[in-house]
Amino acid sequence: MAEYQIDDTVDITDVVCPITFVKAKCAIEELDDGQILSVHLNDGEPVQNVPRSFKEEGHQILKLIDNGDGTYDLLVKKVEA
């Protein structure tokens, strides 16, 4: 994880689809162009869908880290539209 400077983190393991992406989207809105958000998310639907939703919004996915405990950390670079 050392290769990226994380500017903010958000935990979306406490919500379910479609609120998962809404919460993640709100968090990235707060950042400036080029800053990096780390999203803590669950296995299953969130990990299947949230990365793709970020891509569709035009942001840059950098890495998906498997924490080995059924959760992941997704690193996303904000790309201002």
Partner 1 sequence: MAEVDFAALKKGGFMRQKQKGYFSLRLQVVGGQLTAENVKKISEVAEKYGRGYVHLTSRQGVEIPFIRFEDIEEVRRELAKGGVKPGVCGPRVRTVTACQGSAVCPSGNIDTQDIAQELDARYFGRDLPHKFKFGVTGCQNNCLKAEENDLGIKGALDVKWVEDKCISCGVCEKACREGAISMADGKIVLDERRCNYCGRCAKSCPTDAWEGENAYLVSFGGLFGNTIHKGDAILPLIRSKEQLYRVTDAAIQFFADHAKPGERFKFTLDRVGLETFKEKMEEAYNGGISD
Q: Are 24 and 39 in contact (CB under 8 A)?
A: yes
Choices 2-10, 14-22, 32-40, 41-49; region in contact with partner 1 by CB under 8 A: 41-49
Phi/psi at 46 (nearest 5 deg)?
A: -60, -45
Q: The tokens 């990990």 sit on which residue?
A: 47
Among 7, 11, 47, 71, binds partner 1 (CB under 8 A): 47
**By CB under 8 A, residue 48 contacts partner 1:** yes
Query: Least separation, in Å, of the C-beta of 29 and partner 1?
Result: 19
* Catalytic residue flag (residue 17): yes
Residue 10 CA neighbour count, 13 Å, CB half: 22
**By CB under 8 A, residue 55 contacts partner 1:** yes
